[in-house]
Amino acid sequence: KAGVTQTPRYLIKTRGQQVTLSCSPISGHRSVSWYQQTPGQGLQFLFEYFSETQRNKGNFPGRFSGRQFSNSRSEMNVSTLELGDSALYLCASRPPGQSTGELFFGEGSRLTVL
């Protein structure tokens, strides 16, 4: 069974640009969460989607947005990039019927903002 797939794995952008990251969850998983990981702040929750609806949102500015498609694939977008947005963005999916804590993570998309 394929794991969580994130694309692209690495990308470099400049300040002011926007970026879109993609996540394909494990087949059959309908819940997709996004986390930002930085050396200073660790892993921080961005948002969670289930059946194309955002169920939870973390404390990030409105420049961070996401969506989920009918096939459970998810995208997140960051507009007007800032240097501080440089981070590893992790997507995770959860099996149906499993508790919040049991997440399967992808390998992440490493964003560098210059």
Partner 1 sequence: QKEVEQDPGPLSVPEGAIVSLNCTYSNSAFQYFMWYRQYSRKGPELLMYTYSSGNKEDGRFTAQVDKSSKYISLFIRDSQPSDSATYLCATPSNTGKLIFGQGTTLQVKP
Instruction: Give the footprint of partner 1 on this chain (CB under 8 A).
Output: 4, 33, 35, 42-45, 48, 55-56, 58, 90, 92, 99-108
What are the two backbone dihedrals, phi and then psi, of residue 3, each rounded to the nearest 5 degrees? Answer: -85, -165
Residue 92 CB, nearest approach to partner 1 (Å): 8
Helix (H, G, I), strand (E, B) or coil at 39: coil
Cβ closest to partner 1, residue 52 vs residue 102: 102
Please identify, using beta-carbon distances, which residue of 79 and 88 lies nearer to partner 1. 88
- What is the closest distance, in whole angstroms, from the C-beta atom of residue 81 to partner 1 in the complex? 22
C-alpha neighbours within 13 Å on the C-beta side of residue 76: 30
Nearest one of 22, 30, 20, 24 to 3, comparing CA atoms? 24
Smallest separation (angstroms) from partner 1 to the CB of 108: 6
Among residues 17 and 43, whose Cβ is nearest to partner 1?
A: 43
Q: How far apart are CA 88 and CA 106, in angstroms?
A: 11
